[in-house]
Structure 1
Amino acid sequence: MSEEDPATAADVAMIGGHPVLDFVNTVAWRHDDARRADRVNSADAWARWGVAAGVLQPGAASGPATDESARDALVELREALWAVLDALVDDRPLPQPSWESVHRALVDARAKAVLPAKLPLRWQPAPPGLAALRGTLALQAEQLLASDDLRRVHRCAGPGCGWFFLDRTRAGTRRWCSSGDCGNRDRARRHYARKHPSAGPQGGPGS
């Protein structure tokens, strides 16, 4: 996972292959407390991220719904979805508080959604603003959790990374969020280990 400036990361860190995965990936280095960073941490940043992710129309997050409470609800959904996906990837029981939080968000999004009389039929979240972003992501999470794609959700094998992605390779062998990022770090570590066997597994670049 790259370490972009937080001001620009929302525009470039779209490696998950699904908006919900990119959503939970807005926290970098999930499993490394020393480097963990929230890349999208303000209402304005979330609005920009939503547009960059293709789940929010430009200007749709303006208005009274763009406030701190809407941002906090969005972050709560992100953290709950991350915990649920993390458990599913490891084939662990779902953490009940997180699952209940996701479930509430799904029910709320469905209750507030509208179905425009046009094709293709697709539920649209309401009201506008960051609540619409949360509603859209909740509805898309519902689709992901009910689809065959769920079994393709993998977690990056890079130490400390923690980002999720849809593995669409034929053999299901994708290991990295990005071959040019965590993949390169792994290759550098293995190369260093071959050249410096006495250094041990923690030595070398990327450690």
Structure 2
Amino acid sequence: MKFKFAKAAPAAWFVAGLVVAGSVGTAAAANGSYIKIGLSNVGTKTTTLSSTSVPLKLVAPAGKAPLSVGANTTKVPNLNADKLDGKDSSAFQTKIGNLSFTSLTPATGWTGNCYSGSPGIAASVDGVVHFHGDVCSSDGSQPASSLIFTIPSQFRPSTTKYLTADLCNTNTGRIIVQSNGEVYVNDDPADTGPTYASACFVSLDGITYTLPY
């Protein structure tokens, strides 16, 4: 008795080849060849995907990430991502750097850097205005005006701000920041003068207010 065997179609041999290829070894070369699914492919050359549409689409089951990377911590250049944890990048605050202070020029009768540094002003990215340094009388006597300096326009509040300030000899006073930029000092009402504590020392360190208020 003779048996006849049907000739296998090319597609069948292709499938069989995949099965065999997938059953031997743990890695497959990728240089100039196909990437073999289910195997660890090894390549030493760069693969470029070019297309008029999306060149690569990865579909994964629900709950599975479509792509993972190894332990390499090197950053990927030019990587664009619309969202992080479901939030648009515009929802995240820019990294806050050091404050950049603008020097303030003391008004007539006043001087700076009496004890703790020259007077300055800065605004953080979240709109908080910061003072630093100090002012005092330029000659030790009570200045004719309580105007201590004028701040630049970008730091000016839309309404007058009354801010507590430390004065000489543990006295407490306040500075008044007006919308036109003029800043005045008020002494403690209990200070009877004639040379007030502000003439000795007005500390600006730690005084803040927020914009645009």
**TM-score, scaled relative to structure 1:** 0.19
Highest RCO, 1 vs 2 (Cα 8 Å, sep ≥ 6): 1
Structure with greater proportional helix content: 1
**TM-score, scaled relative to structure 2:** 0.19
Structure with greater proportional strand content: 2
